[in-house]
Chain A
Amino acid sequence: MELNERNTGMWSKIGSRATFGLVMADLGKTVDDLMVLTADTSTSAGLDRFKKAFPDKFQDMGIAEQNMVGVAAGLASEGFKVVTATFAPFMTMRCCEQVRINLGYMQHGVTLVGLASGVVLGTLGYTHCCVEDLAVMRAIPGLTVLSPADCGETAKAVEAAINSNRPTYIRLTGGKDNPAVYKTDYDFQIGKGVVLRDGTDVALVATGTMVYQALNAASILADQGISASVVDMHTIKPMDAALVEQLCKTAKLIVTVEEHSVLGGLGSAVAEVVATLNKPAPQLFLGLPGEFGKTGEYQDILDHYGLCADKIAHKVAERFSRL
């Protein structure tokens, strides 16, 4: 899936869910033995076009996520490449045991797509927000966990996960008008973070929607004389330990930024590497607190928890000043 200004611009407007649906409609033409399953969520997943174009490759399993994951594994056991999609809390925690056994234990190559993760559905309350999916999925042995930075990377991640034939969870974040980090093509590899900006004082390691915010925060910090590198850590598991180690060699402070609870997500995964180093750097964890807290409009929640470029920059500068 090659990125260019045209497709990334269009996807950026429609957001990651609709992008996922369009990407699937494209992959439906070329991937043999593809099967897409949803839990009465085909429209939410942007899959209406796919459903019409490839009725034989689509099956709605009804609002029954546990069964859906079992069926997905059964199909995968017979050689199908299976993608399942529903809202993130239901894709991960409602059927957690099925994911653990059918995907983790038995290693069936199913791609689970968690829609609208984070707090984008904040007006609907925390039944529909998802701030702990990275932590839960990361803890299951044998699962790959991806968290794309924007819509272009969502396209890359979906294609890579299907081709990997490995059990994978992909976490989609952000709403419509999801700003593009990538406007031209680049090399996406599962397990390899992307250094988007070099810097010597601070390393901002971000994932999902926070990559774009981190890039802007780095610009603000530069104006204040603080040189910050920015990494798009799209793979939460397996963590790119070599890159984290490399960052610790120059940066005096590691900052992780995620639209996820700071308990068990990107920050924890990075810390698990940093803590093992002979010369670890101190780490600042930016993200959501582990609480069912602020609700309402998406931007208001992000702002409340300081997950926007200016507040990120402010917190980083404050912590940097105390090193």
Chain B
Amino acid sequence: MDNRAATLAKITGMAKSMRKKALDIALEAGAKSSHLGGGLSMMEITATLYGAIMKHAPGNPQWADRDRFILSKGHGVLGYYTALSEIGLLSEQDLLSFEKTGSFLLGHPVMNRARGIDFSTGSLGMGLGLGIGVALAGRKRGKDYRVFVLMGDGECNEGSVWEGALSGAHLELDRLTVIVDRNGLQQTGTNDQILKTGDMAAKWASFGWNAVEVDGHDVCQLFDALNAAPQPGKPTAIIARTTKGKGFSFTENNNDWHHNVLTRSQYDLALEELNA
């Protein structure tokens, strides 16, 4: 197997392992529910970032030259904590403490730099501003780290996202990449029903970003888009077309799984499908 094929296989394996861990977390959370749908739609994105794209130093999560990640769609923790677990920053025991009293792993990320969580997020529309600040700091310090901000398409309802879209382009932050998890659904309906977001790639391009559209579950497309050299003077926006609840027959495109309880029989069925 050549390097590229090995990398892609590693990402695919990682995403599968992350889905298994997400199911374990969701089952353990029980009646507290979890945001399974939006976590599952972003699995390949975080697997690609943490598995193959982002520079990080094992054992040193605060390494000054590391690439930075901000989960702007803070409710997507199942696709985040599981990735941090894959690179050894969270144990499986940590994952199973999810949302329990006293746990540091809540339903939205709480800043914990020793564990690779650089920012507290969950209030939508706020990750991009932080990412711009971090990217600007990197440029001022002469660092070449990249900054990745993952946001939801529903999140793009927030006006502050578009303040950031103007700002990132104006400041010509070419080390900054936004990834929009374009699953088409938000809490209570489709984007089109709640607030039309239209042609997302055209919007980001018109704001001055290098906009790219990919299949957000195709690790080959994701890897190529994330691995591409940045366009000088332009931040990149990757619109990743995804399926909310991706991976399991009963969760895919079913918005009941925005935030829901996973039963034991559903867990068993999902595990069977994952291993099929």
User: Which of A's residues lie within 8 Å of B, judged by CB?
Assistant: 35, 56, 59, 61-62, 64, 66-80, 97-98, 101-102, 105-106
Tell me whether A74 and B126 are in contact in the complex, defined as CB-CB below 8 angstroms, given that A62-B170, A64-B167 are known contacts.
no
Residues of A within 8 A of B163 (CB): 62, 64, 66-67
Residues of B within 8 A of A61 (CB): 167
What's the least CB distance linking A125 to chain B, in Å? 23
User: Which of B's residues lie within 8 Å of A, judged by CB?
Assistant: 111, 118-121, 123, 125-138, 140-141, 159-160, 163-164, 166-167, 170-171
What's the least CB distance linking A208 to chain B, in Å? 30
Q: Which residue of B lies closest to A65 (CB)?
A: B163
Q: Which residue of A lies closest to B158 (CB)?
A: A66
A70 B136 Cβ-Cβ under 8 A: no
For the A-B complex with A70-B127, A78-B134, A106-B119 known, give 12 more contacts whose Cβ atoms are closer than 8 Å. Answer: A59-B171, A62-B163, A66-B126, A67-B129, A67-B164, A71-B133, A74-B129, A77-B130, A78-B137, A101-B120, A101-B121, A101-B123
Residues of A within 8 A of B159 (CB): 66
Residues of B within 8 A of A74 (CB): 129-137
Residues of B within 8 A of A105 (CB): 111, 120
Q: Which residue of A lies closest to B64 (CB)?
A: A78
Contact of B137 among A67, A80, A98, A106 (CB under 8 A): A80
A73 B166 Cβ-Cβ under 8 A: no
Interface centre among B120, B126, B133, B134 (most CB of A within 10 A): B133
B129 A69 Cβ-Cβ under 8 A: yes
Residues of B within 8 A of A64 (CB): 163, 166-167
Complex Cα–Cα for A79 and B138 (A): 11
Residues of A within 8 A of B126 (CB): 66, 70, 97-98, 101-102
A59 B128 Cβ-Cβ under 8 A: no
B119 A75 Cβ-Cβ under 8 A: no
A71 B136 Cβ-Cβ under 8 A: yes
Residues of A within 8 A of B136 (CB): 59, 71, 74-75
What's the least CB distance linking A126 to chain B, in Å? 23
Inter-chain contact total with CB atoms closer than 8 Å: 92
Complex Cα–Cα for A76 and B118 (A): 12
Interface centre among B129, B160, B166, B167 (most CB of A within 10 A): B129
Q: Which residue of B lies closest to A80 (CB)?
A: B137
Tell me whether A71 and B167 are in contact in the complex, defined as CB-CB below 8 angstroms, given that A56-B140, A102-B130 are known contacts.
yes
Residues of B within 8 A of A69 (CB): 129
Complex Cα–Cα for A64 and B169 (A): 14
Contact of A73 among B133, B160, B171 (CB under 8 A): B133
Residues of A within 8 A of B129 (CB): 66-71, 73-74, 98, 102
Q: Which residue of A lies closest to B145 (CB)?
A: A78
Complex Cα–Cα for A69 and B160 (A): 11
What's the least CB distance linking A72 to chain B, in Å? 6
Contact of B133 among A62, A75, A101 (CB under 8 A): A75
Tell me whether A62 and B119 are in contact in the complex, defined as CB-CB below 8 angstroms, given that A80-B137, A106-B111 are known contacts.
no
A-B contact pairs, 25 of them (CB 8 A): A35-B140, A59-B171, A62-B167, A66-B163, A67-B129, A70-B164, A73-B129, A74-B129, A74-B134, A75-B136, A75-B137, A76-B133, A77-B119, A77-B130, A78-B137, A78-B138, A79-B137, A98-B129, A98-B160, A101-B120, A101-B121, A105-B111, A105-B120, A106-B119, A106-B120
A67 B132 Cβ-Cβ under 8 A: yes
What's the least CB distance linking B110 to chain A, in Å? 8
Q: Which residue of A lies closest to B167 (CB)?
A: A67
Residues of A within 8 A of B133 (CB): 70-78
Q: Which residue of B lies closest to A67 (CB)?
A: B163
What's the least CB distance linking B106 to chain A, in Å? 12
What's the least CB distance linking A165 to chain B, in Å? 15
A70 B160 Cβ-Cβ under 8 A: yes
Complex Cα–Cα for A137 and B264 (A): 46
